[in-house]
Amino acid sequence: MNRGFVMPENTERFRVAVIVGSVREGRFGTTVADWFAGQARQRADVEVDVIDLAEVGLPLTFPAFGSAPASETARALEKVTPRLAAADAFVVVTPEYNHSFPASLKNVIDWHNAEWHAKPVGFVSYGGLSGGLRAVEHLRPVFAEVHAVTVRETVSFHQAWERFDAEGRPVDPAGCETAAKALLDQLLWWARALREARAVRPYAA
């Protein structure tokens, strides 16, 4: 009798934070993020945490250096900072705005520092002809500055609105599912390697 999948007791698990980068009204990002999160949840070695920046509400105004954030800002940070700190790896789901990534992503990156240190970051992008890849290339040096490691494998959707049906499912799943597996395999290799390295010697930025 089929009792369903039972995860082996010795399976090492990694928490992957899937960050929905767009906060625009009518955005397509949640469709892409939900699909990718579903792919990740099929793996026994992944625990998925979807962080939707539209639900966080971080302000664009920063406190002066050395000053504590205002109480409203502190409450917004409480929604996201512990989740970033707990993550072993990140997957950023980003559109392309004017050949780059949305301000909401830069904002959440800039509000944090140590939470990114010595952790891997993968990218799922979407857009028109470029599939959001120009946004990804701009994000790589930004994450390097906060001591994160970006992985080479990506998933990109060119003319993204034509790649999903009305139910949010890819119309040609084989290609994007293969790309998602390659991204996750590489991301988790780095997650394991960097977790072990941080355990041996804390990372110093």
Q: Which two tokens stand for residue 89?
A: 């790896």
Residue 118: pLDDT band (50, 70, 90) is very high
Q: Is residue 151 part of a domain?
A: yes
pLDDT in tens, 158-196: 999 999 999 999 999 999 999 999 999 999 999 999 999
Q: What is the pTM (predicted TM-score) of this model?
A: 0.93
Res 55: pLDDT: 95
CA angle 110, 97, 190 (to 5 degrees): 55
Print the domain residue range for 187: 14-58+73-198
Q: Is residue 82 part of a domain?
A: yes
The strand ranges marked E within 137-192 are 149-158
Q: Is residue 185 part of a domain?
A: yes
Residue 47: pLDDT band (50, 70, 90) is very high
Task: Provide the number of structural domains found in the chain.
Answer: 1
- What does the pLDDT average to over 64-86? 94
Neighbours of 115 (CB within 10 A): 21
Looking up residue 102, the CATH number of its domain turns out to be: 3.40.50.360
Q: Is residue 32 part of a domain?
A: yes
Residue 205: pLDDT band (50, 70, 90) is confident
